[in-house]
Chain A
Amino acid sequence: MEWELILRCRGGSTASFEPLVRDHQRQALAIAEALLGNADDAADAVQEAFVKAFRALDGLRSGSQFGPWFRTIVRNQCRDRLRVHQPPREPWSSEAVDRKAWSEPSAHGAMESAQLAESVRKALATISSEHREILVLKEIEDMSYAAIAEAMSIPPGTVASRLYHARAALRKTLERRGVAVEGGLR
């Protein structure tokens, strides 16, 4: 069904692109917002990615899935935007996060899920782009470590370590903002 739509799009039918946009926009927006830290920028980036994807559909290998191919375009689009408009980062290096940070008791109570998601969205904007990207690949795109290693061109053994540092950096940022993550919600 999806491939049939792609073939019609290749023939110039923009209407056949509509189901593909509607099926993939939600995840693409979440990826872009996590990477760019701003809903409006994310919408612009995803919109641009859809336009690019439509024009590049001839390059999609026969029988390939649209989703993973399109999400790569979204991430590249976000990277290009970040190169032009690098958001301000917190002065400390996320690589240097103290491993004890995971074990320190928090002074604040646990937050509701929705509030935590909003806080995480804001905190993501301040950690390094490598950490942000690996968290997006794992948590939003739900990719395996092997697929992440391939997508980021890093050794498979590095994925767990980088995810550890990324989550530690995210949590540290949340704590600096007074948001406690205590593991009580799920």
Chain B
Amino acid sequence: MTEHPRERLMAYADGELDGEAAAEIQQHLKTCTECGRELSIVRELKGAMKDMQSSQTRDLWSAVNRRLTTPAGWLFVLSGALVWIALAAVRWFRSELTIEWLATTALVTGLVLLLVAIGHEQYRSWKSERYKDVQR
């Protein structure tokens, strides 16, 4: 082994060489200070990248949970608004649209949506309850 086996040194540092190939590198390292230094550097870089993982402290669960549960609420609001607009359009074409009707139906639609949203939330909480099957 007269040249510096740089790529095989990488494989050695990464634990990818089998017994014979690893022994050959170990033999080379006994006489080559340059490769010994290079191996130390590779190990230091590997350790520094490992440290990147241990320094992560953020907790993403709240944000992820919000993202997973929010869309249902928006779907309720959107579908309620669409139904209300469609009914208002029908009455407008029939020339039956009045301010009183708009106010009353907006209030009723809002209340229905609120009740549906509360019911959905209760159901979701029950379904997501991890300990619901546990006997108390």
Contacts and interface: CB of A to CB of B under 8 A. Distances in A.
A120 B49 contact: yes
B69 interface: yes
A182 B61 contact: no
5 contacts: A17-B68, A103-B38, A120-B49, A182-B40, A183-B39
Which applies to chain B's interface (DSSP): helix, strand, loop or mixed?
A: helix
B20 interface: no
Contacts of B40: 182-184, 186
Contacts, number: 142
A38 interface: no
Interface residues on A, range: 35 or more
Given A30-B52, A140-B49, A170-B45, A21 B64 contact: yes
A51 B64 contact: yes
B43 interface: yes
B56 interface: yes
Contacts of B64: 17, 21, 47, 50-51, 54
B41 A182 contact: yes
Contacts of B61: 18, 21-22, 25
Interface of A: 11-18, 21-22, 25-27, 29-30, 33-34, 39, 43, 46-47, 50-51, 54, 99, 102-103, 113-114, 116-117, 119-121, 135, 138-140, 144-145, 160-161, 163-164, 167, 170-171, 181-186
A183 B41 contact: yes
B96 interface: no
Contacts of B6: 99, 102, 164
Interface of B: 6-8, 10-11, 14, 16, 34, 37-56, 58-61, 63-65, 67-69, 124, 127-130
Given A102-B6, A116-B44, A13 B49 contact: no
A160 B47 contact: no
Residue picked from B39, B53, B130, most chain A C-beta under 10 Å = B53
A113 B128 contact: no
Given A27-B53, A117-B49, A144-B16, A51 B67 contact: yes
